[in-house]
Chain A
Amino acid sequence: MDLSLSTHTVDDRTVVEVGGEIDVYTAPKLREQLVELVNDGNFHLVVDMENVDFLDSTGLGVLVGGLKRVRAHEGSLRLVCNQERILKIFRITGLTKVFPIHQSVDEAIAATD
């Protein structure tokens, strides 16, 4: 399965809905999308991963890169994920301490801290 990407804005947040598999082949597309959003001045991103079937370390690297880019503009990058098999990868790499991970898009949009 390939990667699907779509974006929409809610107030000052930009929600990126990601679906499919994020791996070494597809991760560059996600990287391009995040870079483009930041270059266009969108510094508060919510990455909705509820429809992601697979995530590997390449995908993690892209998300970390996105976080670095938005932080350079005092922005934020929040994740939405409820899937245990995806959350496990964040846990074993210690990235649960780096990313705010939310249960729903609404919760991520409402979050301020």
Chain B
Amino acid sequence: MATVELRFTPLPEHVRTARLVGAAMARRAGVADAALDEVRLAVGEACTRAVGLHQLHEVAEPVQVRLIEDEKQFSIEVVDEAPHAVPADIEAGTAGLPVTEDPEGEDEMGLAVISGLVDDVQVKTGESGGLIRMSWPTTTLA
């Protein structure tokens, strides 16, 4: 079960809230201070992507953010409910990013930023939605 769960209407103005909550939880969980900017940026990118997908497919359901404290790591899962055109199951470090419908390529750029920032990231997409899971190691304070 997620330690903290956040659901927000798929609107751009709420992404900042998710960033703030993500970074605050990461700090509390014991993620190194040097990595907090990365957490903030990565959760923002994942939520921006989810909001964009919901808007593109006119999905009114909320975007879901799960913040999970484990013994030695802190994870953030961002869940969208948009249908993805190309089902894919991508592990970080493998070649290629998914082809998307985003005409400006910002979605792909967001994934590129996440892949560049976070060592431990999984992207899963299916016909009924997608999930990005990102994890960071924590110190003994958790």
Convert A85-110 into 0s and 1s, putting 1 for each residue whose CB lies closer than 8 angstroms to a CB of B.
10001001100000000000000000
B48 touches A61 (CB 8 A): no
Within 8 A of B (CB), among A7-64: 21, 23-25, 54, 56-58, 60-61
Of B12, B112, B117, which is within 8 A of A24 by CB?
Answer: B12
A92 touches B110 (CB 8 A): no
Of B15, B41, B48, B106, which is within 8 A of A89 by CB?
Answer: B41
Nearest CB in chain B: distance from A66 CB, A: 13
Convert B16-51 into 0s and 1s, putting 1 for each residue whose CB lies closer than 8 angstroms to a CB of A.
100100000000000000000100110011001001
Of B44, B105, B116, which is within 8 A of A56 by CB?
Answer: B44
How far does the alpha carbon of A24 sit from the alpha carbon of B116 in the complex, in Å?
19
B110 touches A56 (CB 8 A): yes
How far does the alpha carbon of A61 sit from the alpha carbon of B108 in the complex, in Å?
11
A57 touches B117 (CB 8 A): no
Chain B residues touching A, majority SS:
helix
- When distances are taken between beta carbons in the complex, the residues of chain B under 8 Å from A25 are 12-13, 15-16
Residue of B37, B41, B52 contacting most chain A CB atoms (<10 Å): B41
A23 touches B37 (CB 8 A): no
Binding site for A on B (CB under 8 A): 12-13, 15-16, 19, 37, 40-41, 44-45, 48, 51-52, 104-106, 109-110, 112-113, 116-117
Could you list 21 examples of A-B contacts with CB < 8 Å?
A: A23-B15, A23-B16, A23-B44, A25-B13, A25-B16, A54-B44, A56-B41, A56-B44, A56-B110, A57-B45, A57-B106, A57-B110, A58-B106, A58-B110, A61-B109, A85-B37, A92-B112, A92-B116, A92-B117, A93-B109, A93-B116
Binding site for B on A (CB under 8 A): 21, 23-25, 54, 56-58, 60-61, 65, 85, 89, 92-93
